[in-house]
Amino acid sequence: MKIRLSNIEDIPAIMTIIDDARELLASLHIDQWQNGYPNAAQVENDIKNNESYVVVNDDNIVMATSMFTFKKEPTYKEVIDGNWLVDEDKVYGVIHRMAIKKEFRKLGLATFLFSEFHQTLKDKNIKSLKIDTHEDNLGMQSLIKKLGYSYCGIIYTGYNAKRLAFEKVIL
């Protein structure tokens, strides 16, 4: 398996994965991704900005997707009841919209994506990776804590949804 930048032709496969994740979240009574976000237009925008990645297997089947960027996240400016570990003025990486195709869950693909993004940050001498997740998304919270992320407080998305913010200092 390998990670690569997504292309426009990947959008149907990415949206299938996002729909799989949306169904899983709904089945767990988590209202994350239940409002039409993320959608194909958002994924297309990520692709145009070279911020959309997919994991493909040897048969070039898209198994997982994630958005990864070095652009500052506007909603991360204000953290409630906490602080970022690395100064907000420094360059940092951000992960959004990570999802695994249902038939490939539990194979370590999310850990693989994080590992690849951590290495990219190391290669660029960037010391921080930030991520946020729904307060009820215990699966993602468990994963990022296992990977050494620290809880940093609460942020609110552009559509005013509460999210728990996490950060890892990359050494």
Contact 78, 165 (CB under 8 A): no
pLDDT digits (tens, 9 = 90+) for 75-105: 999 999 999 999 877 899 999 999 999 999 9
Cα 65-69-71 angle, rounded to 5 deg: 155
How sure is the predictor about 160, in pLDDT bands with cuts at 50, 70 and 90?
confident
The alpha carbon of 95 is separated from its chain's Cα centroid by a whole number of angstroms, namely: 4
67 contacts 47 by C-beta, under 8 angstroms: no
| pLDDT (mean) for 137-157 | 96
Scored b (16 or more CB within 10 A) or e, 59-82 reads eeebbbbbbbbeeebebbeebeee
Give buried/exposed letters for 10-34 (b at 16+ CB in 10 A, else e): bbebbbebbebbbebbeeeebebbe
Q: Which of 124, 95, 98 is nearest to 109 (CA)?
A: 98
**How does pLDDT run across 19-63, given as a tens digit for each residue?**
999 999 999 999 898 888 899 999 999 999 999 999 999 999 999
State what percent of residues in the chain have pLDDT above 70: 100
Based on the structure, what is the number of domains in the chain?
1
- Residue span of the structural domain in which 51 resides: 2-169
**CA–CA separation, 48 and 85 (whole Å):** 30
Sign of CA dihedral 132, 138, 143, 147: positive
Check which CATH number belongs to the domain holding 114 and give it.
Answer: 3.40.630.30
